[in-house]
Amino acid sequence: MSAQATLDFVEEYLSEDEPLLMARRNAADVGGAPPVSPATGAALRFIAAALSARAVVEIGTGCGTSGIWLLRGMRSDGVLTSVDVDPEHQRLARKAFVEAGFPANRYRLIGGKAADVLPRLTDGGYDIVFCDADKHDYPSYLTAALRLLRPGGVVAFDNALWGGRVATPSCTDPETSAIREVVEAVRQDERLVPLLLPMGDGLLAAVKQ
């Protein structure tokens, strides 16, 4: 089996239902918010379930794909806090959450820049911080996540491979450089237990000790 066939098998291992497919269609229609891959979503659900997560921060709501996956792994009384600058993305995410059967008390959608919103959130109050927004700001998201996470919590970054550019030294554009900086910072930080997974466009995750 070729490497690509293996990756395809991984992505297709768990199928997505209509609420997830609807969220993907909405993301394709409005543009600007590429959703996580199915395997990446499954990994997020797995992490949330393994942690019995009650409180999760999502930076970059998109149109709800990753939020559905996270909510499905969280405790039944867990709350997802999702931050995004685009009100249309959040409107579509709310629609997707309703379609997936989640009551309004399971999520709060906060409009605004993460740099303005994250300082208002509780130190050490979260089980997971998932980052999938402006790549230039990934280093600052890592700093915020270390403050927000409880010991044993997990920080995760989507697009950690960035189409192969992160692993290509000659790629030095600002977005690639910012992601590469976070990948290296997570690896070097003694407070973190890191893992880089080659699913989707790359998922970087780390446990805060």
Cα dihedral 146, 106, 31, 116 sign: negative
Q: What is the structure's pLDDT at 176?
A: 98
pLDDT at 170 over 80: yes
Mean pLDDT of the chain: 96
Question: Most distant CA pair in the chain: distance in Å?
Answer: 49
The CA angle 153-64-181, to the nearest 5 degrees, is 50
Confidence band of 3 (pLDDT split at 50, 70, 90): confident
The C-alpha R_g of the chain, in whole angstroms, comes to: 16
Q: 202 — alpha (psi -120 to 50), left (phi > 0) or beta?
A: left
Average pLDDT over residues 161-176: 97
Is the CB of residue 62 less than 8 Å from the CB of residue 92?
A: no
The share of the chain scoring above pLDDT 70, in percent, equals 100
Average pLDDT over residues 104-133: 98
Distance of CA 114 to the CA centre of its chain: 14
Task: Report how far residue 36's alpha carbon sits from residue 189's, in angstroms, rounded to the nearest whole number.
Answer: 26
Placement of tokens 């979260």 in the chain? 126
What are φ and ψ of residue 192, in 5° steps?
-120, 145
Cα dihedral 137, 183, 203, 34 sign: positive
Q: What is the structure's pLDDT at 7?
A: 84
pLDDT at 163 over 70: yes
Query: Which string of b and e fits 64-100 if b means at least 16 CB within 10 Å?
Result: bbbbbbbbbbbbeebbbbbbbbbeebbbbbbbbbebb
State the DSSP string of 121-140: SPTT-EEEEEE-S-GGGHHH
Q: Where are the beta strands (DSSP E) in 132-202?
A: 149-158, 192-197
pLDDT at 9 over 70: yes
Q: What is the structure's pLDDT at 1?
A: 66
Average pLDDT over residues 133-151: 98
Confidence band of 10 (pLDDT split at 50, 70, 90): confident
Average pLDDT over residues 77-100: 97
Instruction: Quote the tokens at residue 146.
Output: 């270390």
Confidence band of 155 (pLDDT split at 50, 70, 90): very high
Instruction: Tell me the pLDDT tens digit for each residue of 19-31.
Output: 999 999 999 999 8
Contacts of 181 (CB under 8 A, 6+ apart): 138, 139
Neighbour tally for 38: CB within 10 Å? 21
At the topology level, CATH places domain 3-208 in Rossmann fold (3.40.50)
